[in-house]
Structure 1
C-alpha cells in the first residue's frame, strides 16, 4: 500500500477512508511472524504513523465496538513493536564508546527532542522552572525524554526513571554510564508504578509515558495511585493523543483526571504524535 501523504489531500482525510486504511494495515501487521525491526515491519509501521498524523476530524469514541477492539489490538501491537525497536537500538548504542553521543542513531530521535522541548516549554509556561526531583514513569530502554530534558533543559535536576523491565533499565543505565555527570543525576528503578507509593511524594514533577496503562481501566488506576501519593501542589505531565493518533496510543480524557487541576493541554498537528496534558494536585 502506498503511503498517503498530506500533500495528497487538499484539507483532511475523511474518517471512513482513514479507518479503512488503518484496518488494512492492522490486518497486515497482525499477520507478521515477528514485530522485531525489519524492512517489512518498519515499512508497515511507518505507513501507519504517516496515516495517523494526517489531518482528520475523527473521534475514536464514535467507533463501533468491533473497531474499538481492533484499535485496542493495534495499540498493543504498536507498543510491542516500539519496545522491540528501542531494545535493538539501545543494545547497539550501549556498546559504542561514548553512547550518550549516539542517541541520534535512534530513528525517532528528532521526534523525541521536539516532544521534550514542547513539554519543557509548557512546564515553564506554567511556572515549573527548576524542579529539583523529577520522576519519569515508563522510561524504557531508550529514556530519551529524560535524557533530552536532563542534558538540554534541566541541568541540575535529579531524575528517577521507573520501568518494570529490568533488561530495559540495565540497557538505559549503560547508556547513561557513558556520561559521569549525567550518571550522578539519573537513576533507574525496576518497579511497577502501582507499587510505588510514598516515594511519589518526593517529586516536584512526574511524567507519565503514553504506554503506561494500555487501556482505560489500567490508566485510571495508575492516575489514581499517582494522585494519591504525589505531593500537594505537585505537577503531573500525562501523554495522550487526539484524533487519528488514537490508533497508535491510548487516549486520556479530561474526565479521567479526577482530583487534578488541569493547567494546560496541547495537541500537536505535525509529526509529533503525543498530546500533552499538564495537571496539578491541588493544595488543600
Structure 2
C-alpha cells in the first residue's frame, strides 16, 4: 500500500484519499486468518489508527452506502482485534508477580492514561469529584480506565466493572488482586447490562465503553435502559467518535441521548481516539 504522508503545511487530508486508504486496509485486515496479535495484525491496525487520527474534515454522514457497510465491518473487526489484544496482555500480566507495575507494557496504555485524565477533568468541571460509587460497563480484560481512575483520580471511590465475558473478568480480577488496597474498591461482575436494573441506581457516575452496543440501534437501547434505572442527578459518561475516528468506534450524537441533560461533548485532536460525551439524568 502506498504511504500516505502529511506535511506541516497541510492541515487536512482530503476525505476521498483517506477513505481510499482505509478501504485498502479493511481489505487487508479482512483477509487475515486470525486477528490475534502478531507482527502483521499489529502493523495493519497501527496503520489504521494513524490514518484515522490524521486531521480531516470527513463527516460520517456523508459516506456512500458501500463505505458505510465497510465501516460497520471495520468497527467489528477492530472490536474483535482489540479484545484479543487486551486478553493476551492481561493474561501475560496476570502471570507476573507485580502486574500493576507493568501496565505500561500494554501498547495503548498511554492513550488510556490521556483519556482518563481528560474524562476526569470533564467530570470535575461538571462537579463530579470523588464520587462514592462508579460503574464501568464493558470493562474488558484490561480495565485500564477503572485502574487509572481509581489509582490517580478517584482514590476513595468504589468501582463495579461489568462485562458480559466471564474470561475477561477472570483475567482482569487477577491483575487487580495483586494490589490489596485496590482490590477492596474494585469488583468485577459478568452481567449483560440490559439485565441489570435497580442496581444502576447505586452509582453516582456510570461509564459506558465505546464498544458496548456495536450498532446505533443497540447503543440507543442500552442508553435508554441505563437512563430508566440510574438515579436522578447521576452522571453518564459515554465514549463516541468523530470524523475518521468513526471508522474505529460507533458514533453517539445528541439526538441519541433523549431524556438526558447534555453537559459536554469533547472531540480530541491528538492521539486520543474517543470523543467524550457527559450527560446527567435530570432531577424531576
Which TM-score bucket, shorter chain as reference?
over 0.9
Aligned position for 2:198:
198
1:43-82 matches, cutoff 5 A? 43-82=43-82
Aligned position for 2:119:
119
Aligned position for 1:211:
211
Report how far residue 172 of structure 1 moved.
0.3
The answer to whether structure 1 residue 146 and structure 2 residue 146 are counterparts is yes
Q: Unpaired segments of 5 or more residues in structure 2?
A: none
Aligned position for 2:26:
26
Aligned position for 1:176:
176
* Alpha-carbon distance between aligned partners in 2 of 1:73 and 1:115, rounded to the nearest angstrom: 25
* Alpha-carbon distance between aligned partners in 2 of 1:6 and 1:189, rounded to the nearest angstrom: 45
1:225-240 matches, cutoff 5 A? 225-240=225-240
* Alpha-carbon distance between aligned partners in 1 of 2:121 and 2:5, rounded to the nearest angstrom: 29
Deviation larger for 8-17 or 225-234:
8-17
Which secondary structure state, in structure 2, belongs to the residue aligned with residue 7 of structure 1?
coil
The answer to whether structure 1 residue 101 and structure 2 residue 101 are counterparts is yes
Report how far residue 6 of structure 1 moved.
4.2
Which secondary structure state, in structure 2, belongs to the residue aligned with residue 127 of structure 1?
coil
Deviations 1:41-92 (A, max 9, x none): 0000000000000011011111111111110000000000000000000000
* Alpha-carbon distance between aligned partners in 1 of 2:7 and 2:187, rounded to the nearest angstrom: 44
Instruction: Sort the Cα spacing of 1:15 and 1:186 in 2 relative to 1 into closer, same or farther, 3 A.
Output: same
* Alpha-carbon distance between aligned partners in 1 of 2:225 and 2:103, rounded to the nearest angstrom: 32
* Alpha-carbon distance between aligned partners in 1 of 2:192 and 2:230, rounded to the nearest angstrom: 16
After TM superposition, the score normalised by the length of structure 1 is 0.98
Aligned position for 2:262:
262
Instruction: Sort the Cα spacing of 1:39 and 1:9 in 2 relative to 1 into closer, same or farther, 3 A.
Output: farther
Number of aligned residue pairs: 284
Aligned position for 1:14:
14
Instruction: Sort the Cα spacing of 1:126 and 1:64 in 2 relative to 1 into closer, same or farther, 3 A.
Output: same
* Alpha-carbon distance between aligned partners in 2 of 1:2 and 1:147, rounded to the nearest angstrom: 39
Instruction: Sort the Cα spacing of 1:247 and 1:168 in 2 relative to 1 into closer, same or farther, 3 A.
Output: same
Report how far residue 3 of structure 1 moved.
5.0
Q: Unpaired segments of 5 or more residues in structure 1?
A: none
The answer to whether structure 1 residue 165 and structure 2 residue 168 are counterparts is no
**Pairwise CA RMSD of aligned residues?**
1.0
Runs of 4+ in 1 over 6 A off after TM superposition: none
